[in-house]
Amino acid sequence: MDLSVVFESKNVAVIGVSTSNPFHPANIIYNKNYYSTECCVFAVNPKGGELERRQVYRSVAEVPAKLDMAVVAVKAHYVPAVARECAAAGVKSLVVISGGFAEMGEAGHALQDELVGICSEAGMALIGPNCFGVYSPPYVDTFFLPPERTVLPRKGDIAVASQSGAFLVDQVMTNFYEAGIGISVAVSMGNKAMVDEEVLLENFAARSDTRCICFYIEGMDQGVRRFIEAAREVTPRIPIVAYLGGKSERGQAAAKSHTAALAANHEMMAGALKQSGILEATTEAEVTSFCKILSFYHHRPLRSCDIAVISSSGGHGVLASDLAEGAGLRLPQFSEHVQEDLRMLAEPSVRDIASFANPIDLTGSATDQDFERTLDYLLGHDHIEAALVLTLPYTPMMTSFVGTRLGQVVKKHDKPVVAYVPDLAKYGMVLEGFELNGIPVVHSIEEGVQMLKALRLLGLYAGGGQPGCPR
């Protein structure tokens, strides 16, 4: 099923727009698209009339354009009739925002089956029902949330699909915005009556603007096998991150009432994900960390799990060491020969007070050059696959250009490096220096370790992990 007509809609009708209630979900969707996207949007309500001096059409048949999509925000029992009108008018796809379908029990199931039958017979793609729909910049945005109360990530290369619209907006999109991660397209699947994970995976993987795919899954029934088989074809080219909801008995019950999801046994599902090469994020924070590192380093698996940690604080190095061990990463002890080489590369002011064992503590007297030379030397060694650099911009000898300088080192060696920078506005120039030169920035050491863990899992699931690599 080709969803390009959904993701690149040129003409969109919003059905259910109110001429008296400006806060109706349909009105929010209509106004967002009228003012903020590239699609041409039309308001539809059986009563007709005007909305801010713009015509409200009585039906999609009256709309003077061939419609790529209709966004339906009316009561559930009206939806099948609306779908028939859309089919008769040649509408190519539906996004049904309305709830009250399979998640409500037997009667809702029957209503949902009727809707699917109408769409299938007409060849209309159906997103939902019971969903937020599609955010596909710059073409269309069907999320019924006031823009002044939400944030939208920049245009980027991560495609996201979620059964929960609120999780997508509140956790994924908000966290991505704060982390500087860009989205190519985002879909709230809701009850996924027709368009499910497998369909979205195939469409996401075919996009030229997508380098990583992320799923939030509350449950899968008959589609599990198809999804896993499809993922096996995709993961060698495009990394996939998945976060599973419904791990507990109560969580499974909540998922069923939320999106009619039939939650699979978590251990079995996690095992299936691993076999297909999908990276399972175990926390919300890992979703963000995994996606950000994979956006910067598209498909760069760690084979040996050996990393270097470079810091200007011994305490930060200790924390990184503890977290790395828990994530299955190794900090190999450097030989006396290597430590002496590193010592001679350091500025005279830090040679006798720094520690070069790994983690490396360059001390608070370290200069940009100390970090640059140390990183350059270590990335030049085959057995060091990646580095975590813990910068403290308040140390006196470090400048705002440290990120730019280290970025040139990374380009030279083409190995993954993650930088920690404290989350303070005054360090914005330091952060930009790193990220504009290809080094992702984190604001906690744990996030940095999570990023390198993602690359470790990528190597492990691809079958490239070395025998000594922690599993």
pLDDT (tens digit, 9 = 90+) per residue, 39-93? 999 999 999 999 989 999 999 999 999 999 999 999 999 999 999 999 999 999 9
Mean of pLDDT values over 324-351: 96
**Domains in the chain with CATH codes:** 1-130 (3.40.50.720), 151-299 (3.40.50.261), 300-461 (3.40.50.261)
What mean pLDDT is reported for the chain? 92
Helices (H), 282-354: 284-296, 314-326, 336-345, 348-351
Whether the CB-CB separation of 268 and 425 falls below 8 Å is answered with no
Helices and strands (H and E) in the chain: how many: 18, 19
| 270: confidence class by pLDDT, cuts 50, 70, 90 | confident
- The per-residue DSSP string of 352-402 comes to TT-B-SSSEE--TT--HHHHHHHHHHHHTSTT--EEEEE--TTSTT--TTH
pLDDT score at 223: 76
pLDDT score at 248: 46
160 backbone dihedrals φ, ψ, rounded to 5°: -130, 135
pLDDT score at 104: 94
**Region label for 216, one of left (φ > 0), alpha (ψ between -120 and 50) or beta (otherwise):** beta
Higher pLDDT, 268 or 116: 116
Q: Label the pairing between strands 183-188 and 133-136.
A: antiparallel
Host H or E run for residue 177: helix 174-179
pLDDT tens-digit series, residues 231-269: 999 999 999 999 998 654 544 445 444 445 445 567 888
132 backbone dihedrals φ, ψ, rounded to 5°: -90, -25
DSSP type of residue 415: -
pLDDT score at 69: 98
Whether the CB-CB separation of 300 and 423 falls below 8 Å is answered with no
Cα–Cα distance for residue pair 169/176, rounded to 1 Å: 10
Whether the CB-CB separation of 90 and 11 falls below 8 Å is answered with no
- How far lies 281's CA from each of 98, 170, 244, 329, in Å? 30, 17, 8, 16
Q: Is the peptide bond before 416 cis (omega within 30 degrees of 0)?
A: no
Higher pLDDT, 247 or 38: 38
Q: Is the pLDDT of residue 157 over 70?
A: yes
Q: What is the CA radius of gyration of the chain?
A: 25
pLDDT tens-digit series, residues 17-29: 999 999 999 999 9
Q: How far is CA 346 from the centre of its chain?
A: 39
Cα–Cα distance for residue pair 291/293, rounded to 1 Å: 6
pLDDT score at 153: 95
* pLDDT above 70: percentage of residues in the chain: 93
- Angle among Cα 20, 22, 23 to the nearest 5 degrees reads 125
Whether the CB-CB separation of 46 and 34 falls below 8 Å is answered with no
* Whether the model pTM is above 0.85: yes
pLDDT score at 44: 98
| 313: confidence class by pLDDT, cuts 50, 70, 90 | very high
Mean of pLDDT values over 311-334: 96
Q: Is the peptide bond before 46 cis (omega within 30 degrees of 0)?
A: no
Contacts of 83 (CB under 8 A, 6+ apart): 72, 94, 96, 115, 118, 119, 122, 124
Cα–Cα distance for residue pair 71/133, rounded to 1 Å: 8
pLDDT tens-digit series, residues 351-365: 999 999 999 999 999
Tokens of 462: 């691809």
Q: Label the pairing between strands 133-136 and 140-141.
A: antiparallel
pLDDT score at 165: 94
- How far lies 247's CA from each of 85, 102, 202, 282, 376, in Å? 41, 21, 26, 11, 44
User: Which of 82-91, 439-448, 454-463 shows the lowest per-residue confidence on average (mean pLDDT)?
Assistant: 454-463
End-to-end CA distance of the chain: 38
Higher pLDDT, 438 or 300: 438
